[in-house]
Amino acid sequence: MTKKTTLPRDWLQIATSEMKDRDPESLTWRTPEGIDVKPVYTEADCKNLDHLGSLPGQAPYTRGPRATMYSGRPWTIRQYAGFSTAEESNQFYRAALAGGQKGLSVAFDLATHRGYDSDHPRVVGDVGKAGVAIDSVEDMKILFDGIPLDEMSVSMTMNGAVIPVLASFIVAGEEQGHSRAVLSGTIQNDILKEFMVRNTYIFPPEPSMRIVADIIEYTAKEMPRYNSISISGYHIQEAGSTIVQELAFTLADGREYVRAAIAKGMDVDAFAGRLSFFFNMGMNFFMEAAKLRAARYLWAGMMKEFGASERSQMLRTHCQTSGVSLQERDPYNNIVRTAYEAMSAALGGTQSLHTNSFDEAIALPTEFSSRIARNTQLILQNETGVTKVVDPLAGSYYVESLTGDLIREATTLMNEIEALGGMTDAINQGMPKARIEEAAAQKQARIDKGEEVIVGVNKFQPKVEDPVDVRDIDNAAVRDAQIARLMRIRKTRNADRHSAALQDLQRVCETGEGNILETAVEAARARATVGEISAAMESSFGRHTADIVTIEGVYEAEYGDDPAFTETKEDVRSFAEKLGRKPRILVTKMGQDGHDRGAKVIATAFGDLGFDVTVAPLFQTPEEAAEWAVNKDVDIVGVSSHAAGHKTLAPMLVKELAERNAADKIVICGGVIPGQDYEMLTDAGIKAVFGPGTNIPEAAISLLGLLKEQQRGRNI
């Protein structure tokens, strides 16, 4: 339950006289987390808060993991980037390092994330589109050409195909001439988050947890400078969670990984120092800063329960500004949003930071937008004075009270998870995913009805949109280049050594004897590819398929009796009455993009508005999506795109529908789609495109118009 707080009597007297016809208590704001935020805080709000008292660098580290924090050394500027080929990404990295970036953070394409080589038929539209394509050690060597891996810290956001990617990185470092013991950086290796929200998993939960533990074990023994896991809340908030949910679910994931490592017989202090975290920084400025302070306090307490030393109780974190807060409409506003979010991360005490580029709601960032994002951090560090004082928000009545609120609310949720048997069991029961999807639907409803203001989107819209240059990746050219390199590798490698290494890997996976990463390193040395290593593991573990579950009533409940929503729902009901049934829509994601927040919100909202909604399984090919559309006899096929595969996959879907005598089905696209692509999609047969920030009831009215036009055509 939310703690009941009271406003000071003296302030109430003054405020009452100022407000006259309003109750000053009406100024209290209830956040999406259910926390009441008062208009004024005093010393009384900070009494009996358990997290107060320690200094920076002292357990439980509420005020920061280091005594001097940024006054000794500023946070690391670690921009997340990767696109197209290893060659192009390498050039981008070199330019960024020359421009002041201090560490590398690699984004991989979705084919790599899902353990497929670039020539696999399921990844035709994914290669090189949302990250760099890595098929083997040879690609990894090109990616870091001229970048000394004994000196440069490298963070790699990889979970599903974590074994082949990390193995290829280790071998690339060795072939640069460096022992793996000197390699530094972080591998994300956070598979529980994937099952919850991001969905770039490969194997089922149990073997996936074994992989996590084997990586922790191997790196603890062989790579003392390397962080074996980055426990990520970032994608949890991106999927629509509240800040309390992000905090609780992330720390609960961390607790599960610690248990897995201890179950392998490891001493907690042997690996705890190599665990790191990764949090999202959204637009609730003070609460995001308080979140990092609360996270350090809570993690220290949890690790203390495991018998960890004070040093091992320290939470270190990377942060990234929010992607969801970026808007396609009036996109230069995103520069301001990112700057505020970056300041919040700095005031909260992050150890490294990535600032998003303003154009990432439209496409991959350009060099121009990336420079602005990087300079945002350089200005913060060098011009604002934020690095001069350790934990400058400490002692703020408001921030300390918020920190206490977050500690309390997150603890309540984590206790609920423990009652379900821990995070793995909670995920298997669907609790975290259901809570996050509910929060996402509620947030979208608040935005659509204007209750939550987004400047330039649902209020203060510009009369004229300024054009934005976007980066466009030639997916076919990248894929052709990758396939050519794969063919060379397969022709020149030692076939017997390659076969023996994969057989050994399969044996380790099947028997449970030995370390999977250690064996995969040998396979990578033999030039086994990412896809081949993943396939060898899949033959033992299988490939995970998630159940599709949608929620009902949440979007409508948030809208209440809003006249616009009621009118839209009545229009849908009236059309259904004339049609003799509800209008049917299939929501599908094609390719290997697992971001399903938008698809799930659309499914929930359209269901509440009166549509008959079917959600197809993730990772569909155009052929499979067309089969679903025909078998379910839908009127509309809604394609959700997040990872730039729309130019390849959407036209293929239109063609597949035509080949099944279903060309009359209305195909629409939504998601992260640059405006410059709209005409191309329309020419390919797409009837409508809905970008980020689309008002859902308005979109429903547009679809009803298309359906009525279709019905008129059929009647003729």
How many other CB atoms sit within 10 Å of the CB of residue 302?
Answer: 18
Pick the catalytic residue from 41, 93, 218, 234. 234
Residue 132 pairs in a beta bridge with 84, 108
Task: Verify whether residue 80 is a known catalytic residue.
Answer: yes
Do residues 82 and 75 lie in contact, with contact meaning Cβ atoms separated by under 8 Å? no
CA distance 264 to 77: 35
Q: Determine whether 235 is an active site residue.
A: yes
Whether the bond between 60 and the residue before it is cis, its omega within 30 degrees of 0, is yes
DSSP secondary structure code for residue 43 in this structure: G
Q: Are 321 and 278 in contact (CB under 8 A)?
A: no
Alpha helices in 272-315 (DSSP H): 285-305
Query: Residues 595, 642, 665, 687: which is the catalytic one?
Result: 595
**Cis ω before 583 (30° cut-off from 0):** no
> Residues 38, 235, 318, 433: which is the catalytic one?
235
The two tokens of residue 166 are 């990390």
* 8 A C-beta contact, residue 165 and residue 158: yes
Question: Given CA atoms 212, 166, 120, 478 in this order, what sign does their dihedral have?
Answer: positive
> Which tokens is 698 given?
């308005």
Identify whether 102 is a catalytic site residue.
Answer: no
Tokens of residue 268, six digits:
């907690």
The full DSSP string for 87-117 is: HHHHHHHHHHHHTT--EEEEPBPHHHHTT--
Polymer length in residues for the chain: 716
Cβ–Cβ < 8 Å for 245, 435: yes
Q: What distance in Å separates the CA atoms of residue 37 and residue 572, rounded to the nearest whole number?
A: 38
Contact 366, 373 (CB under 8 A): no
Measure the CA–CA gap between 351 and 74, rounded to whole angstroms: 8
Which two structure tokens, joined as six digits, stand for 561? 């009796």
Q: Are 109 and 131 in contact (CB under 8 A)?
A: yes
Residue 238 and residue 95: Cα distance in Å, rounded? 29
Which residue from 534, 546, 545 is spatially nearest to 509, judged by alpha carbons? Answer: 534
CB-CB contact of 80 with 364 (8 Å): no
Pick from 223, 231, 153, 230: nearest CA to 517: 223
Task: With beta carbons less than 8 A apart as the criterion, state whether 130 and 109 touch.
Answer: yes
In a 13 Å sphere around the CA of 607, the CA atoms on its Cβ side amount to 19
Of 190, 359, 593, 608, which is the active-site residue? 593
Is 126 a catalytic site residue?
A: no
**Those residues with Cβ within 8 angstroms of residue 100's Cβ, 6 or more apart along the chain or in another chain:** 77, 374, 378
What is the Cα–Cα distance from 447 to 131, expressed in whole angstroms? Answer: 30
544 is catalytic: no
How far is residue 667 CA from its own chain's centroid?
Answer: 27
Q: Is 270 exposed, middle or buried (0-12, 13-18, 19+ CB in 10 A)?
A: middle
| Radius of gyration over every alpha carbon of the chain, rounded to an integer in angstroms | 26
Residue type, 91: Q
Instruction: Please return the burial class of 511, using the count of CB atoms within 10 Å of its CB with bins 0-12, 13-18 and 19+.
Output: exposed
Give the Cα separation of 190 and 231 in Å (integer).
6
Q: Are 619 and 122 in contact (CB under 8 A)?
A: yes
Q: Is 113 annotated as catalytic? A: no
Q: Which of 41, 61, 70, 80 is catalytic?
A: 80
In terms of Cβ atoms closer than 10 Å to its own Cβ (0-12, 13-18, 19+), residue 6 is: exposed
Given the DSSP bridges, would you call strands 154-156 and 185-187 parallel, antiparallel or unpaired? parallel
Q: What residue has token string 């821990």?
A: 422
Residues with catalytic function: 80, 234-235, 589, 593, 595
